[in-house]
Amino acid sequence: MRVSGALLLVLLIAVGYLLYLNARDATSSLDAVATVATDLREEGVTGRDLDRDLARQMINAMDSLLVAPDTIRDHVDDLKTFAATAASWADGAPSPSTNLRVAVALRKTAGELRSHAVAPSTVHLMRARRYLRTAEDALDSTATGIGSAGPGLATDGVRDRLENLEQSHQEHYQELDEELNQSTSTSSESRNGSGG
């Protein structure tokens, strides 16, 4: 009886030690993920704190464009400004945070609307609506006092940072598409003008 009691005690100590090691390993893994998320920053962008009032204005403006998608082409410069502002908010936001989520979602919304301006598609509009709702929901959660720093998993911060970097690369391609689209329409207009 004493042997089985001692064996049970040794077994419990061993299980406890294994749980301790696993918890310690998980904590160090989460710390490593948080560090990776913090290091995934866009070059050439100066971080700023999220301006909730301006973010709300951006949401309202892009919502209006979604209601009248034929006007999006006239607001590409505004969308570029929105994207640049959101990029600076993303750079200044902690990882993970609702501020980061708002910034990335706003930037992606502006990107989808810019893509629609070059190549109109309901897919771009649907994505823009989805990203805009994500931004709005995250902004509403910060307004209720849930806080700007910390909510969410460390992996959420990594995902948001990666999406922000992906959107940055997408914007470089959009610049080229917009220039090509502009030069194509300019040469088309000049041919039509010289032909008449």
Place of tokens 């989520």: 101
Question: Tokens at residue 154, please?
Answer: 């460390």
pLDDT at 179: 87
Instruction: Go through the chain and tell me how many residues it has.
Output: 196
Residues of the chain short of pLDDT 50, as ranges, are 1, 146-150
pTM of the model: 0.75
pLDDT at 11: 61
pLDDT at 99: 95
pLDDT at 162: 87
Report the distance separating Cα 56 and Cα 31, nearest Å. Answer: 33
H or E element, residue 95:
none
pLDDT at 76: 96
pLDDT at 6: 61
pLDDT at 25: 55
CB within 8 Å of 73: residues ≥ 6 apart? 117
